[in-house]
Copies of this chain bind each other. A is one copy, B any other.
Amino acid sequence: MSRLSDPLPDAAPAGRLAVVGIGPGAAEWLAPAAREELALAQDIVGYTTYVELAGPFRAEQRVLDSDNRCEMERARLAFELAAQGRRVAVVSSGDPGIFAMAAAVMEALEQSHDPNWHAVELVILPGISAAQLAAARVGAPLGHDFCVLSLSNNLKPWAQIARRLEHAAQADLVIALYNPRSVARPQQFAQALDLLRIHRAPTTPVVLGRDVGRPDELVRVTTLGEVVPEQVDMRTVVIIGSSQTRLFPRLTGGNWVYTPRWYP
């Protein structure tokens, strides 16, 4: 077995693998650094929906999109291509570092003993994550200390999720929830609400951002007392205010929401 400390074979081509955050999807949020990586890539790897948002690509660029292959398979495919000397972009929505492709790419690399994979020039380009744009649409709910939690128990036990929610509630942190509710686990967002309602008032502002930054964007401001689980799905990011988060009327209708910079 080869080791990391072994010298590389003389002929080893060193490709490049860029994990590219495209942000919420619209071109207006794509950083120039990300646009350039996508333009220079020979191979584009990613989930079909995100690849379509990141495109169009030129005819000579190879698009290796997939509908539901798992993240680890995509990460390994990207390393295989880059290790052959290709310039590869892995497309990720939002910020690849926040519940997206970057962790899978790192895991694939750590597990690999192929020195050619480790010789790949690996870069990660951050992007604007869904909670950031949802927050901006309604004011500044993340304006003070906050946490970002995934409610999905596909890869972690629910007990750990509940424990984190409990501590976040006791710490009076603003809470941004990703993957809040899916068809396969419709009850967990309701359980999370039950838990948070023990600690926070019914008037606590809640922001629901669905498909933020895309044509069907729907951002709603509601409260912890009024929100119902059916308003939320996997394409929604949920922001739950702290005890200090405030609402006030917006002249054009609805409310602004913000968390003050100070704590009493």
Contact = CB atoms under 8 A, between A and B. Distances in A.
A205 to B, nearest CB: 12
A147 interface: yes
Contact of A150 (B36, B144, B163): B144
Interface in A112-147: 115, 118-119, 123-129, 132-133, 135-137, 139-147
Interface residues on A, range: 35 or more
B261 A155 contact: yes
Interface string A216-258: 0000000000000000000000000000001011010000101
Contact of A251 (B4, B125, B171): B4
Contact of A258 (B29, B36, B106, B141): B106
> Per DSSP, are chain A's interface residues mostly helix, strand or loop, or mixed?
mixed
Interface stretch (A76-84, A94-102, A187-195): A94-102
B31 A128 contact: yes
A170 B147 CA distance: 14
Interface string A1-44: 00010000000000000000001000111111100100000000
A139 B167 contact: no
Nearest to A132: B126
B156 A262 contact: yes
A168 interface: yes
Given A4-B251, A71-B261, A103-B143, A256 B135 contact: no
A135 B99 CA distance: 13
A248 B102 CA distance: 15
B136 A126 contact: yes
Contact of A256 (B31, B109, B129, B170): B109
Contacts of A123: 136
Nearest to A26: B33
21 contacts: A4-B249, A29-B32, A29-B126, A96-B136, A97-B141, A98-B143, A99-B144, A99-B261, A102-B143, A103-B143, A103-B261, A106-B139, A106-B143, A109-B248, A119-B251, A125-B136, A147-B148, A155-B261, A155-B263, A156-B263, A164-B171
Interface of A: 4, 23, 27-33, 36, 71, 95-99, 102-107, 109-110, 115, 118-119, 123-129, 132-133, 135-137, 139-150, 155-157, 160, 163-164, 166-168, 170-173, 246, 248-249, 251, 256, 258-263
